[in-house]
Amino acid sequence: MKSVGLYNKLFSVLHKSFALLLVFAFSISTYAQDVDEARQKAGKKLFKSQCASCHKLDKKLVGPALGGVEERRENAWLKSWIKNNAEFQKVNTEAAQAAQYSATAMTAFPQLTDVQIDDILYYTTVGEIKKVVDSGDVTVGGQVLQKSGAPEWLIYLLAAAIVVAFLMISSLLKQVSELKGGSKPGVESNLRRDLQELWIGAKNNTFLKVLSTIFLLLIGAYVTFGTLFKVGVDQGYQPIQPIAFSHKIHAGENKVDCQYCHSSAKHSKHSGIPSLNVCMNCHKAIAEVAETTEIQWNGQTYGKQQLDLEIDKLYEAVGWDKDELVYTGEEKPVKWIRIHNLPDFAYYNHAQHVTVAGIACQKCHGPVEEMDEMYQYSPLTMGWCINCHRETNVDLKGNEYYEKIHEQLADKYGVDKVTISQLGGLECGKCHY
Amino acid sequence: MASNKKYWKSVEELQGSSVVETLAKNEFVENIPTDDFLGDKETLENSSTSRRDFLKYVGFTTAAASLAACEGPVVKSIPYVVKPDDIIAGVADWYATSIADGFDYANVLVKTREGRPIQIMPNKEANGSTSARVQASVLSLYDETLRLKEPTKGGKAITWASADKEIGDALLKLKEAEKPVILLTGTLASPSTSKVISDFITAYPNIRHVVYDAISESAAVDAFKAMYGKRILPNYKLENAKAIVSFGADFLGDFHGGFEKAYVAGRKPETGAMSFHVQVESNMSLTGANADKRVVAKPSDVVFALLNLYKEITGNGVSSKATPIDGEIKKLAKVLKKAGSKGVVMTGINDVNAQLISLAINQALNSDILDTQNTLNIRQGNFEEVQGVITDMKSGKIGGLLTYNIDPAYTLPNATEFIEALGKVSLKVGLSTENNATVDAMDYALPTSHFLESWGDTNFSEGNYGLMQPTIQPLFQTKQVQDVLLKWSGSTTSYYDFLKNYWTTEVLNAASWNKALHNGYYSANVTSNTSDYVSEVVISDVANQLKKSISSSGMELNLYIKTGLGDGRQANNPWLQEFPDPITRTSWDNYLTMSIADAKVLGFSNPVKDNGAINGDYAKVKVNGAEVVVPVMIQPGQAKGSVGLSLGFGKTFGLKEEMKVGVNAYPFYKDGNNIQYNVSIEKVSGTHKFACTQVQKTIAGRHDILKVASLKEFKTVDPKDHHHGWNKPAYVSYDHQEVEANTIDLWDEHNREVGHHFNLSIDLTSCTGCGACVVACHAENNVPVVGKNEVRVGRDMHWLRIDRYYSSTVETREEAKELGLSRGATYEALETEAENPEVTFQPMMCQHCNHAPCETVCPVAATTHGRQGQNQMTYNRCVGTRYCANNCPYRVRRFNWFEYANNNEFDFNMNNEYGKMVLNPDVVVRGRGVMEKCSMCIQMTQATILKAKKEGRKVNKDEFSTACSSACTTGSLVFGDVNNKEDKVAALAVDKRAYNVLDYLQTKPNVIYQVKVRNTNEA
């Protein structure tokens, strides 16, 4: 399972390169529709901030789907309804009827101006703008390839060049040998004879033999040592999870705070996997991903179709009927596969590092916001822990607990700043009991 | 003088057995059995496994193990679907609740992790205290073997609904037929449950509620009723007492009142006001061991001595008999008269007349200590009434019997008669948390919830109410007894609503329910339902009756209860079985305790084997037609002419094979009386193997381990006085000069001023030896249970043990000469010292030496010193050389000889899925081949520090604690940071009573002992 990660990366690079070639070949730049982009953008922004928690364009949520709502209701009616539907219901029978749609009454929005409402309605009419090519980045099927991707395929290019050069040199050598030694098949090239002589000479040289034996033994020891030290070190461990959950979409693109979901990290030794009701805080409203969303999952590209099925997995686990928008009570807890496994005899506390020390999650977990599929970024070996404890200065300011200790320690070591090891952070018993 | 005393742990040692001497020198009590597998040439030659095969196996297994190690196991993590708000994975929640299981009653705090209760601690705010049994009861919750899991009828599973219907119908029929039905329960001490039962009785007037306690206090409550008009137990305000004279009342041991806190509160040498406690008894009890003076007499003499004391104090001539201890009684009378209203007499003799005499003496003293207002509700059983019920059952008068959480088929002296009588009852329903012989004999076995799964309330003593709340969802298909009875009464309310309503209207008096539930208790003002003295008792008649009732010839048997197993209801609890008895230090057994003199006459002995194990001979004991064969344990301090035997053992029904230990003494418990006369004892063949830790772990060089001073010495003598000081430092020779040991040192000093520095102070004066700390340590640190055979060979794993030392002032004839004793007096002194030694308890755990001998010898640096004072043990680094244990002068390191978890050879709580739920997730379960020991609960100190850091504040005063210090009710164990001058322990560390064990070794321990002060000068 561990080698899969590397394989994935290789595969995705090839895939990307191929796609890139295609793009260059058929570079077209068009908009799907002829729309006022500025109005649509303004409308979309307002829709996302004011309406999206209860409405979608193409599906019912708490409220009805709003796509093309202007075809169903008049503009003036809609404005009155949006500004204060409760008041409007009193004077308009149609509105009173409309209110029967849901038991949840709609919030009044008196703060919205007519222009703003028009923008929103414009957005509901034109919907999303489908762009194929953007000016800055190159978009391929929704995946944005950064320009920094170039060196990656440059390496492959270089490798190919080396292979070609090697082939050329080898054919050149062949030609030279043919020119030098005639074309008799019985007599091999001088090069080969030279090599044979060199081998015989080396075989009889004791010093060389001893030297090479020592060299080989050292290499052997080095390799064995290195291999054995890797046993149980699961850096890069990337198991296949039951739901294709992308940290990149959540923490990266949507900038959800790590501790919104992993809330126990600030209180407890465990960072905790969020319970499914936390997922539903957002996913009650988000039943599907955007049209262009794509992630890399287990060596494959998951587009909207697959990802919506993944969200359905969440609904099944938590027992949410997405059509009726009610909980059914049939719960099936998700069996995630744990990535970061410390042995039982090692104690680690998230709260100490997150709340007290204020360390960013990325310091140990790596660029999670760029990972579609989560993997173990750090080796989690004792040497790795110790190293950090040796090097890191403790920020003792603003925490009354440290005041006196800091004073005494600074006095003792004659330094202004104190590392964790000077505070006793290297003692065996601090992590092993 | 303290230094003149010889401390000894067993009779063998006192008599100078060479085996014990050798044991003191050995590192481990047993030699490594290399000869067993290398010495036998014949077997080796005949073995089909050749050297070549052996190497093949080694090669294959190594390769297989390495291959297996390459791929780590896949670990699944399953989060909640909907997380409860108050649960954060990894953070403990504490709930205040109460235990009232029919034998133990206490206000407690329960620690839960991820919804599982894992530890019980005393709710000190509510004046709660815990014993070893209460501490261990959390493990009984997870007793998958013994707990009833679903309702059954005749052994076949049925649903609750059909059980309710069938029993309801049967009850209605019996009601119409006006046939009496008995509801037999233990003492409930729950006001709301009493209401539930009275409602039940209103619905079925043919039902009668009878209370049955396995360990009867019938006599005490009956006597109180005769004199004060109320059938209830009196309380004792021991904290104010000047003189306590107890006639066999084991008020520290049998625990029904939780008196140890008050007792110790009245015994503070610093204040100079120490009560003078005299124990007159035949068995060596925990209370006797703590007494300032212990007067030994056989049970009949104890009774007559009580009568004689009455005569001395009141001057009223009542009929009695002279006893060998009359001289002492005269002295005691003087002491009591001097103490006046601050004196008190208690008695544990289960005889109404003896109890009346005791009350009468207190009356004559006008004792303030005897508390007739704040009475105790925790023993209401009526032994006679229960016997009446059995008679009625036999004659077919009883139509139905409902029992709740009692096991009369095991605990009644006439259990077989009870089982026979059951046959004549038409409706038999057993409601019980655990399976037992009684439930098994019933038609219906209905599982009830454990107290940790239940709602409830308590009223242990007048005015002191407690609440019980569930700390876990029911593990099995159980219901609370109150819910069941409410349903049968035709009510539709749940017990929770009933309870809340009852408390709001009857108890709380407009106080907040939520607050009471949070605190776990509520104190109401005692509405003076004064129990006035109803002096209708004619003491001379009582005395006559008492004298007549004693027909003593032959040996006398004093039945008692052990601190570990109590009445035996938790007999399937491995923690309690492995808990060594505080007095004999024997686990997994009960036995006949016998005096040295009687043993000599009857030919019993306790030879010590070379591995430290003790053997015993069997005796056939006959009383009133009942007979058992039981091993004999020779007990210093046992009265000549008497033997002791503990109840609560020998239970077999439903128990795991390993737990079926000891003999059942209940058949001897005739009339619920703990004293039985006319006992015949006969030696029978066979050798019994005890699991006794008494002589194992003997510390080399035993002087300077214990320091004891009398109150007079404490007040008048300079502790450091070179000759007479009671806490003088050790002296060593340095450059031919005698210098204090602590002035020279091999090592450089560390700076111990920075940060925290932890110390544990143990006050030997207030340690009663109850052992709550031992079990608390088990629970907190995942200490494994190893079983009887392993304990026998000295491989017990207790991180914290309580050493019990006997001491005698006169050790040798030479010393007697120095004291100027005559020849006759010398022999007498030598004999009586062994017959009645002084007892001292000393909790012993890793001393966390600042200059630790273990640290320097570890070849892999697995044991190192932390700068907070803890001697740290890194299990994953340990390779098991055991050098450290060899170099430890305190014998506190424990070696994992086997894998104790997930091993069928050790089929205790760590070998089943339910039992493992009690493990503390913050402490690792150690594997085979590593050393372990007390860590000073580093996980707890770390947690306290982290809490302060998170909240950005200093650690509060006395905020640090360990499992043992939290469990200690008397405040003997105090833990804290000596660098925080506000912490209690900072002052204790420099107290004039403070000393280190074996201080001449200069190990500089972080565990400090406080010299034991005994008030021996009064007499």
pLDDT for the residue B194: 95
Element (H, E) at B593: strand B592-594
Question: What is the pLDDT, as a whole number, of residue B540?
Answer: 83
d(CA A337, CA B811): 68
Whether A386 contacts chain B with CB within 8 A: no
**B982: burial class by Cβ within 10 Å (0-12, 13-18, 19+)?**
exposed
Instruction: Kindly list the residues from chain A whose CB atom is less than 8 angstroms away from the CB atom of residue B875.
Output: 345, 432
What A154-161 contacts at long range (C-beta under 8 Å, 24+ apart), as own/partner pairs, is A156/A13, A156/A17
CB distance B168 to B194 below 8 Å:
no
pLDDT at A279: 93
Residue with tokens 């709380």: B508
Among the partner-chain residues A231, A318, A424, the one whose CB lies closest to the CB of B69 is A231
Residue B331 to residue B308: CA distance in whole angstroms: 12
DSSP secondary structure string for all residues of B645-701: EEES----TT--GGG--S---GGG-GGG-SEEEEEEEEEEEEEEEEEE-SSTTPPSS
- CA–CA separation, B641 vs B675, rounded Å? 13
**What's the 3-state SS for B959-996?**
CCCCHHHHHCCCCCEEEEECCCCCCHHHHHHCCCCEEC
**In angstroms, how far apart are the furthest CA atoms of chain B?**
98
Contact B745, B1002 (CB under 8 A): yes
Compute CA A251 distance to the chain's CA centroid, rounded to the nearest angstrom. Answer: 8
pLDDT band, residue A132 (cuts 50/70/90): very low
The DSSP secondary-structure symbol of B72 reads P
- β-strand pairing of B464-468 with B456-461: antiparallel
- In 3D space, the residue among A141, A134, A146 whose CA is nearest the CA of residue A295 turns out to be A141
Mean pLDDT of the region B972-979: 94
Considering only CA atoms, which of B87, B31, B379 is closest in space to residue B235? B379
pLDDT at B834: 67
Residue A146 has pLDDT above 60, yes or no: no
Q: Is B557 helix (H, G, I), strand (E, B) or coil?
A: strand
Q: What confidence tens digit (pLDDT) does each residue in B910-942 have?
A: 999 999 999 999 999 999 999 999 999 999 999
DSSP code of residue A248: I
CA-wise closest residue to A2 among A342, A309, A183, A230: A230
Lowest-confidence pick of A50-54, A308-312, B83-87, B693-697: B693-697
Q: How confident is the model at residue B515 (pLDDT cuts 50, 70, 90)?
A: very high
pLDDT at B12: 67
Tell me how far apart the alpha carbons of residues B662 and B53 are, in angstroms, rounded to a whole number: 46
> Mapping DSSP to helix (H, G, I), strand (E, B) and coil, where does residue B907 land?
coil
pLDDT band at B809 (very low <50, low <70, confident <90, very high): low
pLDDT confidence band for B761 (50 / 70 / 90): very high
pLDDT at position B1, please? 35
Q: Name every chain B residue with its beta carbon within 8 A of the beta carbon of A275.
A: 79-83
pLDDT digits (tens, 9 = 90+) for B711-753: 888 988 888 888 888 888 888 888 888 888 888 887 777 778 8
Whether residue A141 is predicted with pLDDT greater than 80 in this model: the reply is no
The CA–CA distances, whole Å, from B362 to A292, B250, B287, B291, B379 equal 92, 18, 20, 20, 21
pLDDT (0 to 100) of residue A152: 64
Share of chain A above pLDDT 70, in %: 84
pLDDT attached to residue A181:
61
Q: Shortest CB distance from B79 goes to which of A275, A356, A408?
A: A275
Distance CA A423, CA A402 (A): 10
Phi first, then psi: what are they for A296, rounded to 5°?
Answer: -100, 120
Three-state SS letters, A110-129: CCCCHHHHHHHHHHHHHCCC
Average pLDDT (B675-703) is 79
Q: Which residue has the tokens 């019993």?
A: B604
Closest residue in chain B to residue A356, using alpha carbons only:
B950
Say if residues B697 and B891 touch (Cβ distance below 8 Å): yes
What pLDDT sits at residue B999?
86
Give the CA count within 13 Å in the CB-facing half-sphere of A398.
7
DSSP letter string, A197-228: HHHHHHHH-HHHHHHHHHHHHHHHHHHHHHHH
For residue range A157-194, list pLDDT tens digits in order: 888 888 888 787 777 777 776 776 655 555 556 788 88
pLDDT number for residue A18: 46
pLDDT at A81 (0 to 100): 86
pLDDT mean over A94-122:
83
Cβ-based neighbour number of residue B1 at 10 Å: 14
Which phi-psi region, left, alpha or beta, contains residue B869 (left: φ > 0; alpha: ψ -120 to 50)?
left
Q: Which of residues B252 and A20 earns the better pLDDT score?
A: B252
Task: Look at the block and give the residue holding tokens 């057995």.
Answer: B17
pLDDT for residue B68 = 64
- What is the rounded CA–CA span in Å between residue A337 and residue A333? 13
Strand partners, B296: B281
CA dist., res. B843 & res. B89, Å (int):
34
Is the CB of B89 less than 8 angstroms away from the CB of A272? yes
Q: Do A401 and B866 touch (CB under 8 A)?
A: no
pLDDT 10s digits, B33-81: 666 655 566 666 666 667 778 888 888 888 877 766 656 678 899 999 9
Rounded Cα–Cα distance for residues B897 and B900 (Å): 9
Residue B282 confidence class, pLDDT cut points 50, 70, 90: very high
- Answer whether residue A265 shows pLDDT above 90: yes
Q: Is the pLDDT of residue B20 over 80?
A: no
Contact A424 B78 (CB under 8 A): no
User: Mean per-residue pLDDT for B959-971?
Assistant: 94
In angstroms, the CA A164 to CA A172 distance is: 12
Nearest CA-CA distance, residue A268 and chain B, Å: 5
Q: Residues B301-313: what's their mean pLDDT?
A: 92
Chain A CA closest to residue B865: A427
User: What local confidence, expressed as pLDDT, does residue B737 receive?
Assistant: 86
pLDDT tens-digit readout, A374-420: 999 999 999 999 999 998 888 777 888 888 777 777 777 777 778 88
Give B473's pLDDT tier (boundaries 50, 70, 90): very high
pLDDT for residue B369 is more than 70: yes
Helices (H) and strands (E) in chain A, counts: 19, 7
A118 has pLDDT over 70: yes
Q: Is the pLDDT of residue B760 over 70?
A: yes
Q: Does A336 sit within 8 Å of B953, measured CB to CB?
A: no
Question: A433–B83: do the CB atoms touch at under 8 Å?
Answer: no
| pLDDT score for A10 | 43
pLDDT digits (tens, 9 = 90+) for B128-151: 889 999 999 999 999 999 999 999
pLDDT at site B533: 64
pLDDT band, very low/low/confident/very high, at A37 (cuts 50, 70, 90): confident
In the predicted structure, residue B185 carries a pLDDT above the cut 60: yes
Residue B229 has pLDDT above 60, yes or no: yes
Using DSSP bridges, classify how beta strands B592-594 and B626-634 pair: parallel, antiparallel or unpaired. parallel
Contacts of B77 in chain A (CB under 8 A): 273, 335-338
Distance between B27 CA and the closest CA of chain A, angstroms: 25
Mean pLDDT for chain B overall: 88
Tokens 């007793």, located at residue: B143
> What is the reported pLDDT for B1006?
94
Cross-chain residue pair B872–A356, CB shorter than 8 Å: no
- Probe site for chain B from A224, A276, A428 (most B CB atoms < 10 A): A428
d(CA B599, CA B475): 49
Question: What pLDDT, on a 0 to 100 scale, did the predictor assign at position B434?
Answer: 93
Tokens describing residue B669? 């418990």
> What are the start-end ranges of the E strands in B189-298?
207-211, 233-236, 243-247, 276-281, 293-296
Question: Of the given ranges (A29-33, A215-219, A221-225, B597-601), which has the lowest mean pLDDT?
Answer: A29-33
The answer, for A336 touching chain B at a CB cutoff of 8 Å, is: yes
The pLDDT assigned to B14 comes to 65
Digit-coded pLDDT (tens) for B313-335: 988 877 788 888 899 999 999 99
Q: What does residue A336 show for φ and ψ, rounded to 5 degrees?
A: -70, 155
Mean per-residue pLDDT, B664-669: 94
Chains A–B, number of C-beta pairs less than 8 Å apart: 151
- In this prediction, residue A91 carries a pLDDT of 83
Only one residue has tokens 């208690």, namely: B346
pLDDT value of residue A148:
39
Please indicate whether residue B685 or residue B373 has the higher confidence score (pLDDT): B685
